[in-house]
Structure 1
Amino acid sequence: MRPGGPPNARPGLQQQQPGTPGRARRRPDLTLPLPQRDLTSLAVPLPLPPPPSSAPSSTSSSGSGGASSMPMPMSMTPPNSAGSTPPAPPPLGELERVRRVGSGAGGTVWLVRHAPTGRAYALKVLYGHHDEAVRRQITREIAILRTAEHPSIVRCHGMYEQAGELQILLEYMDGGSLDGRRIASESFLADVARQVLSGIAYLHRRHIVHRDIKPSNLLIDCARRVKIADFGVGRILNQTMDPCNSSVGTIAYMSPERINTDLNDGNYNGYAGDIWSFGLSILEFYLGRFPLGENLGKQGDWAALMCAICYSESPAAPPTASPELRSFISCCLQKNPAKRPSAAQLLQHRFIASPPQQQPQALAAPPC
């Protein structure tokens, strides 16, 4: 017997692992280090695991032609910031469609009214029938969006399924989107920027990247409250749609390094990308037009648009703007994403903290 060997080992024979004849026992003293990941730099908008396939569906009859409503299962809905589970959405059969209020690449939005209470909601009906993987991803995303509670985030109340069609119930903003609006008053513009930035900072703290900040996704109500819409589910739909059918308007607000990965050594920081899109939107509000060239509209030729974003000088506020606004826009539209401040840092900028005192009358009051 060899010194230090097992008591029953015979010379010339190797000890074998059970069930693996002919293979030597692995040394138990050898370990491999686990890879280290910087969790603070990751944007993980879908932290929930997929639901068990054996879990029962929590669909309930809507009482309308066999349609079924599909609020999130209670086991799928994490607690909100207050520690309580969001309430279930009202049954689909109790929602009456009033009128269509908008449409886009992902679906059509309807103003609906809850018959028993008279409360108004926005119901987004997604186009087409989606495969099971996409449906599961949207379901997980809705469960997360339902927990988002912030005054600058459009509230998501739940999701339904009717004849294979997905419908999402959202907070209704009676003023519509800020697309096409001009905000010449710097004090009002600072207030709009502050509200949107606070919502972006909230999403980024939760490791959620919007990826599609633009004027049409910023909604306003009669009280001039501004809220961010169309994050999460809109991103999933954009990823699963044919790229040839994607909106040129969305490309117009992409950051340079997202379009041309060579500009940042192939690295894309989604948080910094949101800041670029936000800054471009604020500048558009002030100018009353898309900032990238007089003759280059956001719905123009996509190749010329991408060249302008990647290779032209960053757009800037005009000399007639205050030094605070010019500095604020310059911070947001840095070509190097590493030089763009975070949303939390921009909330401390003097344009936000001490806006010029002007009467906010440049933006026409939304219809009420």
Structure 2
Amino acid sequence: MKKMSLPKLAVFAIVSLLFGTYAHAADSGGQSHLERVVNEAIGPVMEENDIPGIAVAVTIQGKRYFFNYGVASKKSGQKVTEDTIFEIGSISKTFTATLASYAAARGTLSLSDSASKYLPVLAGSSFDKISLLDLGTYTAGGLPLQFPGSVTNQKTMIAYYKNWRPTYAAGTHRRYSNPSIGLFGYLAARGMGEPFDDLMEQKLFPALGLSRTYIRVPQGQMGNYAYGYSKGNKPIRVTPGVLDSQAYGVKTTTSDMIRFVEASMDGSKLDGTLQRAVTATHTGYYKVGNMIQGLGWEIYAYPVDLARLLAGNSSEMSRKANKVTRLAPPLPPQEAVLINKTGSTNGFGAYVAFVPAKDIGIVMLANKSYPISARVKAAYRILTVLESEPAPASAR
């Protein structure tokens, strides 16, 4: 294995002293190699992007390892741990998709239903011909990445949707969009008859075994909530916005996210309906280049080379409308795939990836937004090693 250059090792050692960088798992036995692999992948990323703190969790055949670097707050110097709460940005969409999939598994809604069925005020609009599935896969016809600045509350949100006209026929183009999957989650909650935030915090998160995952971080947990840092290195946290909970509003820890990854690979410990719902989010509905769009998750045939993974996570994918190939019938959940999702807010950057066939996965949460390509490269480097080697003896 190629090792970090001496200058980078020296800089990383200095960062360790200044910011309390450290890595650990449950025990020290069998840890040195895995720890070195993670250190060598994460150290340069922190240095090159001036990131105050990163938390990494790895799961290998059901065993969990945690590696924590830097600080959750520059002001207090509080160290990052697996219980540090990070904003995960658009990885929140995977939870939104899980809630909608759960509603479908319960028979509360059908993904083929029109959007206007669950919001009658949209009757007569373009949403009569746009399905919940179209919204959940960003194929509604060209909804933009963000709402325009004039959309500031529910009234202006409804007016925006009523007046919006698609650029493309539904199901022909994918345009990554917060208003698309945001409405998807909003309508799923309406179909279930309860507010979205309550459904997530009181039902879905507990059912998944997640005890430190929130839409609204409670006062008693604010001490664990990291500060994000802007490009100018100013402390920052996400600000409220229309459909923010559904699109980018989840805050969580690596200890909870790696549990979610494990449940996504093997949901046998979940309630049967929830297990089916989690698995169903891995169904492939559209092919976009080398990437297959699931519900919330993005999927690649495995093994996948780094170039294809970077292309699928590129700005070309997230910023532009791309023609899609509809998979008819939809591709059932597969084992030999790599499933991933990125997420960012103005002060945080996150990445999650896992390979069900190998029973390996990784979570990377940082309190600064940094290039997605750097996240993917670091995670790919770690996963490549995990794929080829057995799990260390010690874990928790």
TM-score (norm 2): 0.25
Bigger Cα Rg: 1
**RCO comparison, higher one (Cα < 8 Å, 6+):** 2
